[in-house]
Structure 1
Amino acid sequence: EYFVAEEAIRVMEQMAAQDEPFFLWANFWGPHTPCLVPEPYFSMYNPDDIPEHPSYCETFENKPRVQSIIERMWGLGDYGWRGFQEISARYFGHCTLIDDMVGRVVAALERLGQLDNTIIIYTADHGDCLGAHKLIEKGEFMYDEIYRIPLVVAHPECQTPGAERDDLVYLHEVLPSMLTAAGIEAPNELDGQSFLPAMLGQAWDNGRAEVFCIFNNHFTTANQRMVRTHTHQFTFNPSDIGELYDLVNDPYQLHNRYGDPAYDAVRLDLMDRMEAHMTALGDPQLSWFQRMRHVY
């Protein structure tokens, strides 16, 4: 992590000297297990201070069977929550190390006189369960701990610094947003749309009521599809039961409402939305979903 920060600073110094606009992507490796970070970060957080995750009580009742299999294969077994406390403490130390390294990069921007002329985006490629649902890292489980990732933006012209937003955006939309911010028209071939107005703190609505996510064959033969609104999430598991979560009343996704008659209207609506996304994308799973959805 120190190497990435120092290399980023070295490149910034070179680019700043040329007095030309520049783009820099500093790809830190962490935070990621095994989180073997140096002191003081390794011992910075006391495992005893980390409370049990609200979904650690997961029983996998009425959940896809593969989740309990992965928990037995890829979980911590007899170590229990104590094991997750140890891992989480190291993980948090790794997060703080990354924060400090990003701080070095930001300080260099200020020293070079570029801070007030630079857009900074802080994000990640995925999350980590860290004991949520008794699971660790990522895999064949489409929970918020994996899919809702940080997206922190500092724009020098933002009208509402420090504001939080709940717009539904995709990670791949960082690219068209940055192109638009640089005054470059995004090619039509790019997926997604610019969220530059949100970065500027302006009133903005991308008209998106849901997001669509795909999981394909990571350690398993799973081909999951998921559609999520602000209030509900539906996951299609081609070889197992579906999942439907009420995110308002069950934010930790413990209770699968798939098959619950009280949620039939929600389920059908989310299935329609999923089919629309699969059709638009030419998803190879579309024909199977269409054949199954009326009996699924």
Structure 2
Amino acid sequence: MKPKNILLITSDQQRWDAVSFQNPIVKTPNLERIAKKGIVFNRGYTCSPVCTPARTSLLTGHYPSKHGCNTIGTSLPEDYPTIPAKLSEHGYFTGLIGKAHFMSCLTPGSFEAGPNIYDRDFFREWNGPYFGFDYVRFVTGHSSEKHAASGHYGLWLEEKGIDINNYFGKGTPHDVGTWELPEEVSNSKWTADETMEAINVAKQKEDPFFLWASFQDPHNPFVVPEPWASMYKKEEVPCYDLQEGEMENKPSFYQDLVDGTMYENEPELHVNGMPAPCIGELPFLEEEKKREMMTKYYGMVSQMDHHIGRILDHLEKTGLIDDTVIVFTSDHGDYMGNHGLWYKGLPAYEDIQKVPFIVSHPDCKTPGDRSESLQSLIDLGNTFMNIAGIDPDPGIQGINQEEAWKNCDTEKRDWVMVEFRPTESSFMQKTFIVQQYKLVVYHNRTYGELYDLKQDHEQLNNLWDKEEMQSIKIQLLQALVSAEMEKDGVLRARTAIS
């Protein structure tokens, strides 16, 4: 029997609650289509709260502490073993469409940086391979940034007669508003078009496929074309904020951030005398501006959802949808002003660590249900190989979640872990999450964080130093040590016993 196809759809910097099945304000009818055939996982987590480490973990099946891409600006070695390479070796057609971010996009000479990404002649001829993907349609950056009109997408825009200088590179990463770029040449439209073409190529080859449709939205700058720009009204969207006194019992760098002093008490979080680029720079905005940002953020989500619907329509038209495992998730979330913070970074809130997570498996026994089963992005590689009938290589981390993806009552995990090392210093943060509690520990620091997520989902009350919580803290620290041992992953087979 032919192995199942696998379609991984990811967004970029999408809050776990920026979907209709978690928030009725948001219009995502096509993600609902996936959910009705599969399972919504309410407890999906990233394994790192910034792009490169999270995406590289998806690519490799390894935590950042193993693959070494600890933050933005790092690059994975080109010969590093990857999940798509393994699938390709076993007869899968593998394709990456959209954003990669496995290498630095700001370091001159990097494949994913200028001037390489603007070489139209190169991208006219090159379609892969890349990190195990046989077929590649590449872009980098976000919305209206200059380098977002790069790679195959930039070439396509020029072939469509678009003057890129009119729409890209004119503003800042903090821009908010209506994007005058015509919707029919938007990056979401292009990503969907190219994903459908990749499906056609796989069907023609009669090979099972593993395709990663990697959308760039809803990452800032928060600009989006019509009709999505005016879909949401300011008065109907949430307006997140810092709550009075919530930083008082947190590690000192939390207060540094909202005060604008940016890690004043943590010199290891500086690079070349400047704060590490791991948090937004807009601590306080007027409510009107914050609501405007949210309307455009949701508009970007709904635009993406529309084009995901076109991909689903195409799978139905080609007769492949019932043979395809579909996973939708994001690399990490966005504070969006909650706790006085923006974008992504070090403060270990659910806003950035949780991600939307939906799986539609053709053999799902509980379609349309919701699950509290813990899910981690680190598990995708191991699970994809199991779906393909492939034994994972030694060293693959994460666990096989396929049974949980088929039955909402199945739980395969007791814990998830989120890693972040924002600089090349010794400063490290690890977040350890079980069903009820979140523990946050720091390398060579006496401070830490402990939250009861059932009673305090917003993490306003740090229980780390509370006398009555010391027994639970010790139990969680012991469980964290055990989890670190379990993270070794798949072991090599024994070939001798003496």
Q: SS state of the match for residue 90, structure 1?
A: helix
Give per-residue Cα distances to partners, 1:87-127, cap 9 Å, x unaligned: 11111111111111111111111111111111111011101
Q: Answer yes or no: is 1:228 the counterpart of 2:415.
A: no
1:56 to 234, 242, 246: 242
Q: Look up the equivalent residue of 2:243 and give its one-letter code.
A: C
1:279–1:109 distance in 2 versus 1, CA, 3 Å: closer
Q: TM-score, normalised by structure 1?
A: 0.87
Q: Look up the equivalent residue of 1:225 and give its one-letter code.
A: K
Q: SS state of the match for residue 25, structure 1?
A: strand
Name the residue aligned to 2:59: none
Q: Look up the equivalent residue of 1:93 and give its one-letter code.
A: G
The percent of aligned pairs where both chains have the same amino acid is: 29
1:31 to 199, 218, 224: 218
1:215 to 409, 420, 429: 420
Name the residue aligned to 2:273: none
Q: Look up the equivalent residue of 1:186 and give its one-letter code.
A: P
Give per-residue Cα distances to partners, 1:153-201, cap 9 Å, x unaligned: 1112211111111112220211121221122222232111111111112
Tell me the distance in 1 between the aligned counterparts of 2:289 and 2:461: 25
Q: Where is the helix percentage greater, Structure 1 or Structure 2? A: 1
Name the residue aligned to 2:344: 138
Q: Answer yes or no: is 1:113 the counterpart of 2:319.
A: yes
Q: Look up the equivalent residue of 2:290 and give its one-letter code.
A: F
Unaligned runs of 5+ in 2: 1-187, 263-279, 489-498
Tell me the distance in 2 between the aligned counterparts of 1:243 and 1:119: 37
Q: Look up the equivalent residue of 2:256 and give its one-letter code.
A: I
Q: Look up the equivalent residue of 1:3 and give its one-letter code.
A: W
Tell me the distance in 2 between the aligned counterparts of 1:196 and 1:209: 16
Q: SS state of the match for residue 133, structure 1?
A: helix
Q: Look up the equivalent residue of 2:254 and give its one-letter code.
A: Q
1:16 to 203, 212, 215: 203
1:37 is displaced (CA, Å) by: 1.4
Name the residue aligned to 2:301: 95
Name the residue aligned to 1:287: none
Name the residue aligned to 2:391: 185
Q: TM-score, normalised by structure 2?
A: 0.53
1:226 is displaced (CA, Å) by: 1.4
Name the residue aligned to 1:253: 459
1:24 is displaced (CA, Å) by: 0.7
Q: Is the 8 A contact 2:283 2:342 kept in 1?
A: no
Q: Look up the equivalent residue of 1:41 and give its one-letter code.
A: W
Give per-residue Cα distances to partners, 1:248-296, cap 9 Å, x unaligned: 11111011111111111111111112233345658xxxxxxxxxxxxxx
Q: Which moved more, 1:65-74 or 1:86-95?
A: 65-74
Q: Is the 8 A contact 2:228 2:302 kept in 1?
A: yes
1:271–1:202 distance in 2 versus 1, CA, 3 Å: closer
Q: Is the 8 A contact 1:81 1:131 kept in 2?
A: no
Name the residue aligned to 1:291: none
Name the residue aligned to 1:262: 468
Unaligned runs of 5+ in 1: 283-296
Q: Look up the equivalent residue of 1:272 and give its one-letter code.
A: Q
Q: Answer yes or no: is 1:196 the counterpart of 2:383.
A: no
Give per-residue Cα distances to partners, 1:13-59, cap 9 Å, x unaligned: 11112222111111111111112211111121112212333x63153
Larger RCO, structures 1/2 (Cα 8 Å, 6+ apart): 2
Q: Look up the equivalent residue of 2:476 and give its one-letter code.
A: L
Name the residue aligned to 1:288: none
Q: Is the 8 A contact 2:330 2:356 kept in 1?
A: yes
Q: SS state of the match for residue 195, structure 2?
A: helix
